Amino acid sequence: NAGVTQTPKFRVLKTGQSMTLLCAQDMNHEYMYWYRQDPGMGLRLIHYSVGEGTTAKGEVPDGYNVSRLKKQNFLLGLESAAPSQTSVYFCASRADRGHGYTFGSGTRLTVV
Amino acid sequence: AQSVAQPEDQVNVAEGNPLTVKCTYSVSGNPYLFWYVQYPNRGLQFLLKYITGDNLVKGSYGFEAEFNKSQTSFHLKKPSALVSDSALYFCAVRGSARQLTFGSGTQLTVLP
């Protein structure tokens, strides 16, 4: 079933370690987004991309970096993980003229 | 900047009874409003959207939402709740750069 695929689904990191979360979509969507979900806070936008080679900061970008080298992939990097980055991370994509977002199933990250 | 408020963290309703999940918004210009549902350990699924036109919007799984411009509200409704409707519901508004801003979510529990 096509859509948005996130890898990995689960990960435990030690404080200070780095990792990259991968988001891949096969719908030829222009826009891609990374959100984090924390209890009682809904989803907060980390970074987003309006097309291949472009990225922009969202509401909570500190401690994260992103890259969109290929249209279908949007990578989220944590250079030096902190316990405050323990969260569930969701990737989403949207077509240029579309209104609805398609979400991945999420990555549950725990930083100890 | 746009914002969304979901005043109820939890809504309980008996199966077969009507349900309402409340949402109010703040945005410059015409509002583009959305409802998403999240089942445990899953990503968000699109339910319905308001872009323009009729104030009563019909969506998936028998849900509908009523747009009220004067009250800046976009409440989610269903005439007869099912136990399978139990999930986390998010209201969202589309703002600048076309990204969605989400509310904090409302946990709906339908009691058998």
State the residue for tokens 């999420």: A106
User: What pLDDT is attached to residue B96?
Assistant: 64
User: What pLDDT is attached to residue B41?
Assistant: 80
Is B90 near chain A, with CB under 8 Å? yes
- CA B30 → CA A32, B73, B96, B104, distances in Å? 23, 13, 11, 22
- Enumerate residues 6+ apart whose C-beta is below 8 A from A56: A47, A48, A49, A50, B97
Please give the average per-residue pLDDT across B14-31, as a whole number. 94
- CA A21 → CA A11, A61, A108, B12, B43, distances in Å? 10, 15, 10, 36, 16
DSSP state of A69: S
* pLDDT tens figures, B59-85: 999 999 999 999 999 999 999 999 999
Is B10 near chain A, with CB under 8 Å? no
Rounded to a whole number, what is the distance in angstroms from the first to the last CA of chain B? 41
Q: Amino acid identity, residue A2?
A: A
DSSP state of A60: S
User: What pLDDT is attached to residue B51?
Assistant: 87
Tell me the average confidence (pLDDT) per consecutive run of 10 residues in chain A, 112 residues long: 89 97 95 92 92 94 96 96 96 80 94 96
Q: Which chain A residue has its CA at the smallest distance from B103's CA?
A: A42
User: For residue B32, which of B77, B99, B78, B89 has the smallest C-alpha distance?
Assistant: B99
User: What pLDDT is attached to residue A1?
Assistant: 58
Please give the average per-residue pLDDT across B75-99, as a whole number. 90
User: What pLDDT is attached to residue A90?
Assistant: 95
Cβ–Cβ below 8 Å for B104 and A48:
no
Instruction: Name the minimum distance, in Å, from the CA of B41 to any CA of chain A.
Output: 7
Residue A88's H or E segment, with its range, is strand A87-94
User: What pLDDT is attached to residue A97?
Assistant: 66
Percent pLDDT > 70 in chain B is: 97
Decide if pLDDT at B29 tops 90.
no
